[in-house]
Structure 1
């Protein structure tokens, strides 16, 4: 796959994440054998459960890719996200997250999350 294709796959995945009607497709671009680094999840099923918890807490969550770079089979993304907490009604935001992805045959097979990102998300989700 080309770097442009991998970047487009990531952007499509994020578009699903942002659309409550297609959120269940968000992780379709991930391999069943996904390896996670720095995440509060071990494998695809735990990652899926994590996102369902996040979407329940912040139903209008929107992720914005602020910048992305691609080289070879890897894509790095700097992003922000915002939404409204379902319990408190407060606007919540993560100003800067960093995630690195490795693709194989059109699927994300490995993902690195910047240290502290999971804790920051957990703090926002849990009022």
Structure 2
């Protein structure tokens, strides 16, 4: 179970505290078990800081605490604080990246919704970066029109294989599987089952996709359809 420790402290020496954190990161390279650290400053009190440190488990957090480098940095941190910091230990019972869930919902919908319904997932000023277009295309039609072509040519669906999220962006590695049922890029329906792997970066705004960068092997699909030879 993921474990999070909150460190609540007050200090008027924020710059020194930041340098101390940099020192700890360097000193524990290859040893630390912490996976994520975030420091927040109280908007109503600039001396009030809360540090959030994430670990894979409580046991890993304890292993990290027992590092001599961690103990040394802790003593130096206490010296920089106006008062003794307090600690809150939390077992994480729910952890969701909301944009990641939105990206997964988007891929789950593709292949089963009509082209006009794509607008529910993207912003009006959506920008699409697709290697098939050569340059970026803007507007809802940038997604709706190519989606309609794929939908006319294939019965298909996406399987999400992996996802990572950072700030307002989500990267999804996916597998696409389709059955060639209709004309596609001038190719008559073959009845062939085809697969394709790819990755998509999505940028989100207000819970909807506002920009996308696609990377996929369309040539591999054409080869499976017998259009491209060796």
Tell which deviates more after alignment, 39-48 or 102-111: 39-48
Q: Within 5 Å, which residues of 2 pair with 1:38-117?
A: 38-41=130-133, 42-43=137-138, 44-58=140-154, 60-86=155-181, 87-94=189-196, 96-114=197-215, 117=216
SS at match of 1:51: helix
Larger % of helix: which?
1
Structure 1 CA distance for aligned equivalents of residues 195 and 130 of structure 2: 20
SS at match of 2:164: strand
Q: What CA deviation, in whole Å up to 9, does each residue of 1:27-85 have, x standing for no partner?
A: 42111111222443512203211111101100x20111110111211100111111210
Residue 120 in 1 paired to residue 219 in 2?
A: yes
Looking at CA atoms only, which structure, 1 or 2, has the larger radius of gyration?
2
Dislocated runs of 4+, deviation >6 Å: none
Structure 2 regions of 5+ residues with no counterpart?
1-95, 182-188
Q: When the two structures are aligned, how many residues end up with a matched partner?
A: 119
Assess if the C-alpha contact under 8 Å between 1:14 and 1:26 holds in 2. no
How big is the alpha-carbon RMSD for the aligned residues of Structure 1 and Structure 2?
2.4
Give the TM-score, by structure 2 length.
0.46
Q: Within 5 Å, which residues of 2 pair with 1:13-24?
A: 13-19=106-112, 22-24=113-115
Structure 1 CA distance for aligned equivalents of residues 171 and 149 of structure 2: 25
Offset at residue 122 of structure 1 (A):
7.4
Structure 1 CA distance for aligned equivalents of residues 217 and 103 of structure 2: 19
Higher relative contact order (CA 8 A, sep 6+): 1
Q: What CA deviation, in whole Å up to 9, does each residue of 1:80-105 have, x standing for no partner?
A: 111210110011110x2011011011
Structure 1 regions of 5+ residues with no counterpart?
none
Q: 1:61 to 1:52 in 2, by over 3 A?
A: same
Q: 1:23 to 1:17 in 2, by over 3 A?
A: farther
